[in-house]
Amino acid sequence: MPDTGLTNSAIINAYMARTPGSAALHRRALASLPSGIAHDSRWVKPWPLYCERGAGAWKWDVDGNRLLDLFGGHGSHLLGHCPPAVVEATIEQMRRGSQFAAGTPLEVEWAALVQELVPCAERVRFTASGTEATHMAVRLARAFTGRRKILRFHRHYHGWHDAMAFGVDGHFDGTPTPGVPEAVAEGVRLLPPNDIAAVEAALAADRDIAAVILEPLGATSGLVPFRPDVLHALRELTRAYGVLLILDEVVTGFRIAPGGAQQARGVEADLCTLAKVLAGGMPGGAVAGRAEILEALDFEASARKGREKIKHPGTYNANPVSAAAGIAMLRAVRDEDACGRANRAGEAMRAALNAVLAEEGVPWAVYGEFSFFFFFTNPQGLAIDPLRFDAFALPPEAFAPDPRKSLLQKLHLGLVVHGVDPMGHRGGILSAVHGEEEIATAAAALRATLRALRAEGEL
Ligand SMILES: Cc1ncc(COP(=O)(O)O)c(C=O)c1O
C-alpha cells in the first residue's frame, strides 16, 4: 500500500484527507529522522500527527485540527496543556537564565516538595529523564547491596537504557535486543507479573539479586494490571531477602495520588523513580529513597564510610527551567487536588466509554484505574460484559497484544478522525482539566469509530 495513495478503508482515507500537513512534514522528516519521528510510541501508519499548539485538554495539529488530547504529553500533563502557573514560572525562569552550572534555590525547593509528597523520599537526586532515573536507581541498588542483578517483570517499561531494553515488547526469555551486550542481559532476571511464588523462588535461588523494580500499577500503568496484594507481598518478600524494592513512579508519581502509588497502595519503596509530572511537562527526572542508599552519591558520606562514591554529573540535572515548572506543578498537586480531579475524570471516562460499548453491542471493555483507561479489544472472544469487566480477574496472558494490526490501526486513526488523539490504540490518560465536555467528545468519537469499524468488517 503506497503511503499516500487511497486505500479501501474509509477510516484511513479520512485520516489522510484530514492530515495533509502532517503527511508533508512526515515526507520531509523521513530525510532526517528515522521513521520521521523522535519517540517510538508516536509512530503510526500511514504517518504520525505533527502538532504545534495545546491548551488545556486540547491540542492542534499542523492542519489546524482541534484534537482532544488523551495522550497527555506521555503522562506529564496532569494539568493539561499550558497551565498558567507553570507557564509563568517557566517563562520567568527563562528570562533569568536557563543554566548556571551551579546549584539554585529552585532545586532546593523542588527537592523539599518531593520529600514532602513522596513517602520514601528521605533524599532526592535529580536527573534529566525517567530513563536516567531508573539507570541510577539500579546502580544505587547494586552499590548498596553489593549484588549484581535486578529482577523485573514482563512488559514493565523503565526507559530504554541497556538493562531495560528487552522483555518489554518481546525478548521475554531475557535475550538482549540489538546493541545490548549479553553481559548486561545476564544481569537481569525477567518474570511474569502477579506470580509471587516465582519471585520467591528466584530470590531464594539467586542471592545475587540487588533489587526488584516494577511499575506499581502494572505494565504501562495498568495495561496489564499488577495486583495490589502481590505488591504488598513483594514488599515483605524483598525485605526478608535483603533485596531493595524500586517502584518506578515515573508515570504514577504525583499523578495517582500526591505520594504516587506508595500513597495510593500503602506501600513504601526503598527507592522510587520520578519524572513526567515531577517536572511539569519539562524534561526532568529524579531518584528518591532512603538516605543510607543515596549516601553513595554523597562526597562526605562516601569518604566517611571509606567507600568509592558513585559518580553522577549531568548537565541538565535539576535544570532551573524544569525546576521552576516542577515547583509550580507540585504545588498544584499538593494544594489543588489535581490528582483527585484527574482520577475522577478517569473514572467518568471509563464509565462513559463502557456505556458506548454496551450500547453498540461491542464485546470489548474499557478498564484501568486512577486517570488511565485502556481498551480491551478481546481477541480471544471471551464472554464479557463491558459494564462488569474486572481486569484483575484475568490472567496477564489475557492482555497480550491483540494480533489484529489493521483493527488496532483503524481504532487509533478512527478516533483521530473524530477529533480525539488517544495513546495509540491502547487507551488514554486524563488530566485534571478533562471535564464533561471532553468525556462526551471521547464517547462520541468512540461510537462513530466503532460504527466505521463495523462498516469495514473489522468488528
Ligand atoms: C514507567 C516508566 N518508566 C520510565 C520511563 C522513561 O522515562 P523517560 O521517557 O523520561 O526517559 C517511562 C516513560 O514513558 C515510563 O513510563
- Is 161 touching ligand 1 by the criterion CB < 6 Å? no
Give me the CATH number covering residue 99. Answer: 3.40.640.10
User: Ligand 1 centroid vs 276 CA: distance in angstroms?
Assistant: 8
> For residue 7, what pLDDT is reported?
86
> For residue 1, what pLDDT is reported?
40
If asked whether residues 325 and 387 sit together in one domain, one would say no
**Which residue's CA lies nearest to atom 8 of ligand 1?**
130
DSSP state of 172: T
If asked whether residues 58 and 91 sit together in one domain, one would say no
Distance linking the first and last C-alpha atoms of the chain: 22
Which cell numbers hold the place of 29?
522528516
Best probe residue, ligand 1, of 161, 226, 251 (max atoms within 8 Å of C-beta):
251
Which cell numbers hold the place of 136?
541510577
Q: Report d(CA 325, CA 248) in Å as an integer.
A: 21
> For residue 5, what pLDDT is reported?
62
Q: Report d(CA 261, CA 308) in Å as an integer.
A: 33
- Is 19 touching ligand 1 by the criterion CB < 6 Å? no
- Is 74 touching ligand 1 by the criterion CB < 6 Å? yes
- Is 134 touching ligand 1 by the criterion CB < 6 Å? yes
Q: Give me the number of domains the chain comprises.
A: 2
**pLDDT string in tens for the chain (459-residue length):** 445 567 899 999 999 999 999 999 999 999 999 999 999 999 999 999 999 999 999 999 999 999 999 999 999 999 999 999 999 999 999 999 999 999 999 999 999 999 999 999 999 999 999 999 999 999 999 999 999 999 999 999 999 999 999 999 999 999 999 999 999 999 999 999 999 999 999 999 999 999 999 999 999 999 999 999 999 999 999 999 999 999 999 999 999 999 999 999 999 999 999 999 999 999 999 999 999 999 999 999 999 999 999 999 999 999 999 999 999 999 999 999 999 999 999 999 999 999 999 999 999 999 999 999 999 999 999 999 999 999 999 999 999 999 999 999 999 999 999 999 999 999 999 999 999 999 999 999 999 999 999 999 999
Best probe residue, ligand 1, of 157, 221, 252 (max atoms within 8 Å of C-beta):
157
**Beta pairing partners, 365:** 376
Enzyme catalytic residues: 157, 248, 276
If asked whether residues 63 and 106 sit together in one domain, one would say no
Q: Is 3 domain-assigned?
A: no
Ligand 1 closest atom vs CA 39: 9
- The residue among 311, 335, 359 that closes a domain is 335
Phi and psi, residue 30, nearest 5°: -60, -20
If asked whether residues 402 and 437 sit together in one domain, one would say yes
If asked whether residues 95 and 230 sit together in one domain, one would say yes
User: Ligand 1 centroid vs 382 CA: distance in angstroms?
Assistant: 32
**Which residue's CA lies nearest to atom 4 of ligand 1?**
158
Q: Position of cell 500503568?
A: 221
Q: Is 4 domain-assigned?
A: no
Ligand 1 closest atom vs CA 276: 10
Q: Is 2 domain-assigned?
A: no
Are 129 and 160 in contact, with CB atoms under 8 Å apart?
no
Q: Which domain holds residue 362?
A: 10-80+338-455
- Is 131 touching ligand 1 by the criterion CB < 6 Å? yes
- Is 221 touching ligand 1 by the criterion CB < 6 Å? no
Q: Report d(CA 199, CA 459) in Å as an integer.
A: 39
> For residue 172, what pLDDT is reported?
97
Strands 372-376 and 365-367: antiparallel
Question: How many CB atoms are closer than 10 A to CB 400?
Answer: 11
- The residue among 300, 335, 370 that closes a domain is 335
CA nearest neighbour of 244 among 115, 119, 120, 142: 142
If asked whether residues 305 and 350 sit together in one domain, one would say no
**Which residue's CA lies nearest to atom 13 of ligand 1?**
159
Tell if the pTM clears 0.85, that is, is over it.
Answer: yes
Are 442 and 70 in contact, with CB atoms under 8 Å apart?
yes
**Which residue's CA lies nearest to atom 3 of ligand 1?**
158
- The residue among 335, 364, 392 that closes a domain is 335
